Amino acid sequence: MHRRRAWVEGFLDLAKLETSAIKTERVDVARLVRALVVDNELLIQSRPIVLRTELGGRLPYVLAESAKLRVILQNLLTNALKFTERGEVVVSTDVPRADAVRVHVRDTGPGIPANA
């Protein structure tokens, strides 16, 4: 029952974001990633998991809806932490072009089976 409630709450959060007016702003992705990692470190204190960042140099600001970007990155991070029993979760960034930042979430969890 707990999983269903969490799923419904997540869906409602996304629905609220979808119905709101589009409001883009300059987002400091490095700052956002660091804040999410700090927030999530508390959740894994008693687990044999290392959560860390690899932020590549000085990242440009990006034009985005910061609330939606935060939800997306938090969902990726939550998923990685949920399925990683031991090892590490790494949030890294790179700059594929001057006006974009790419965020990677890498973990040592079991992954998705090839036949799924």
pLDDT in tens, 81-115: 999 999 999 999 999 988 889 999 999 998 877 88
pTM: 0.77
Q: Tell me the per-residue pLDDT of 18-57, one tens digit each, with 9 for 90 and over.
A: 666 778 899 999 999 999 999 999 889 899 999 999 997 8
CA 112 to chain centre: 18
Q: Which one has a higher pLDDT value, 14 or 22?
A: 22
pLDDT of residue 88: 96
Q: What is the rounded distance in angstroms from the CA atom of residue 81 to the CA atom of residue 50?
A: 10
